[in-house]
Structure 1
Amino acid sequence: MTWIRTAARLLLGAFLVTAGIAHLVVPGEFLAQVPPFLPAPGAIVLVSGLVEIALGAAVLLAPARLRPAVGLAAAALFVLVFPGNVSQYLTGTAAFGLDTDAARATRLLFQPLLVAWALWSCGSWPLLRGARGSGRHRARN
């Protein structure tokens, strides 16, 4: 099982780095995901691409003791960009070959899987359980 988790982590890191580079190379595709009410969509695409590259590198290279925290950060990124995916669906904007509502809706279903992938492959689940447990403990005292 360890080698499967390692392979999943390395694949996740490569995915993040590749997606981040794509933000810089073909930013127009990513503009479709920026909700229309947000300012400076070009800057948002640029910064999110740089964040993805940094997180992908961290997923690939972080020492084992830091990987759970990196996994939480990657999962948080996937949660933070979800409203952009929803916006792309609601506005009916085509990008990345997602040119139908069905394709855009299907993509929305995969976002929770990306969150789970980051948490599992980086060994972050215990951090989440610990945070919940410590909150309950404090509430009792």
Structure 2
Amino acid sequence: MTASVVADSGTSWPRTLGRVLLGSFMVFAGVGHLTFLRRDFQAQVPTWLPLDKDFVVLASGVVEVGCGAALLALPRHRRTVGWVLAAFFVAIFPGNVSQYLTQQSAFGLDTDQKRLTRLFFQPVLIALALWSTGAWPRERARR
């Protein structure tokens, strides 16, 4: 196999490292949703969302644990998991925006500057999910 095929398939060591780190982070964050970080995550649930905040936090925690575990344990499905995880990051972005707009303090984000800075990390997570799984480069190669 040539280096370009290996890099494009999502199996290069930098992509693998990115996937393992992101998967581990997702499992940790998901467990946090379900246990010791529950109240902090509730601060991110937009007030306009017509669902119980605790339900949203618990459901998103289950999704995070599932996506993180899938990144770590299902290499054959990594591209699909990458797209699902990217979509999840897009879906939860309004919560991050809501936390900024309503000036909710959580996770040490106790100033507008810190909350605003955090918003710029969401696109990084989306890109990492797509890049580390080989989903994004593969889609570009199809065109």
Q: Do they superpose with TM above 0.5?
A: yes
Match in the other structure for 1:20: 30
CA deviation profile, 1:42-61 (whole Å, cap 9, x unmatched): 10000000000000000111
TM-score w.r.t. the length of structure 2 is 0.87
Quote how far apart the aligned CAs of 1:129 are.
Answer: 3.4
Match in the other structure for 1:137: none
Answer 1 or 2: which has greater helix percent.
1
Match in the other structure for 1:90: 101
Instruction: Give unpaired runs (5+ residues) of structure 1.
Output: 134-141
- Report which structure shows greater RCO (CA 8 Å, sep ≥6): 2
Q: Which amino acid aligns with 1:30?
A: F
| Residue 54, structure 1, aligned to residue 66, structure 2 | yes
Which residue of 2, 8, 14 corresponds with 2:18?
A: 8
Q: Which secondary structure does the structure 1 equivalent of 2:23 belong to?
A: helix
Quote how far apart the aligned CAs of 1:63 are.
Answer: 2.5
CA deviation profile, 1:91-136 (whole Å, cap 9, x unmatched): 00000000000000000011000000000001101454378x4xxx
Structure 1 residues 125 and 31 mapped into 2: Cα distance closer, same or farther (>3 Å)?
A: same
Task: Summarize the alignment of residues 1-141 of structure 1 with structure 2, pairs less than 5 Å apart.
Answer: 2-25=12-35, 26-38=37-49, 39-64=51-76, 66-129=77-140, 133=143
Deviates more, 1:1-10 or 1:72-81: 1-10
4+ residue runs over 6 A deviation: none
Q: Identity of counterpart residues, as a percentage? A: 54
TM-score w.r.t. the length of structure 1 is 0.88
Q: Distance in 2 between matches of 1:119 and 1:106?
A: 22
Instruction: Give unpaired runs (5+ residues) of structure 2.
Output: 1-6
Q: Which amino acid aligns with 2:128?
A: W
